[in-house]
Amino acid sequence: MSAVKRLYPLIACASILFSVVAVVVGQFGPDPYLDPLNVTISEYAVSDRGGVTEVAMAVLGIGSLALLAGLRAAGAPVRGMPEWLLRVWSGALVVAALVPTTPIGADLDLAAQVHRYVSVAAFVSLPAAGALLVPRLRSDERWKPVARVVEWVALAGGFGLLAITYVAMPGERVMIGLVERLLLGAEVTLLGVLAVWLAWLAWRPSGRPTSAQGRNFLTYHRFIASRS
């Protein structure tokens, strides 16, 4: 694999890590009276004077495009609908970062309507892409070790979509901030699994990993997560 192709997973991993840290930092900047359990990330971003949250969204969108480019370059089974859904996710994040919503309590203007629709597109597209990828990953020897994890995370994203749909409509936005953050966490985890495994494939000098090596890789990272 060429050096350029090896850079894609590193860019993706760095972008995901930066975005997660930036979003967490952005939670401390806005009005301290905003309740993160009942305020969405977009609404937080409106009160974020430094624009950290918007930058995080844009970087995550660009990093997702780098991830997609890396998956294609590595011959991952993403072509077709999963690829288009990943493009929708990436583009929607960038647009949502550039077109902010209105402050809490204000009427929705045209920009806020655009922000709402692209946010919905982003939230829906990534779990759908993950669900479509699962059978493809299972049939590919290189990607089979992470197929089960992708399935779990995509399923969590699907439940998150159902939960946020209920909360946003009949649920009268009760705990919408918490539900949205859990959904976004599942979606970022999906990207992270794909990015880390792509880096693992790209930088291993011994070539194609076996399923046993894949299990060792996942066991190692679960151990690291449990210690942190």
CA dihedral (153, 157, 162, 168) positive or negative: positive
Return the pLDDT at 172. Answer: 77
For 159-173, 187-201, 206-220, which range has the lowest pLDDT when averaged over its residues?
Answer: 206-220
What pLDDT does 208 receive?
47
Considering the entire predicted model, what is its pTM?
A: 0.84
Return all residues near 122 (Cβ < 8 A) that are at least 6 apart. Answer: 88, 89, 92, 93, 96
DSSP structural state of residue 34 = -
Contacts of 227 (CB under 8 A, 6+ apart): none
What pLDDT, on a 0 to 100 scale, did the predictor assign at position 107?
A: 75
Half-sphere exposure at residue 36, Cβ-oriented, CA atoms within 13 angstroms: 13
Cβ 38 vs Cβ 164: under 8 Å: no
Kindly tell me the sign of the dihedral angle through the C-alpha atoms of 193, 198, 201, 205.
Answer: negative
Token pair in block for residue 153? 């995370």
Query: Across the chain, how many H-helices and E-strands are there?
Result: 8, 0
Judged by DSSP in three states, 142 sits in coil
| 84 compared with 113, residue with greater pLDDT | 84
- CA separation for the pair 185, 178 (Å, rounded): 10
pLDDT at 102: 76
pLDDT of residue 86: 97
Q: Which of 91-105, 142-156, 203-217 comes out lowest in average pLDDT?
A: 203-217
CA distance 167 to 174: 6
Which pLDDT score is estimated for 223? 46
Give the whole-angstrom CA distance, residue 140 versus residue 33: 50
Q: What average pLDDT does range 121-128 have in this prediction? A: 95
Looking at per-residue pLDDT, the higher value among 129 and 210 belongs to: 129
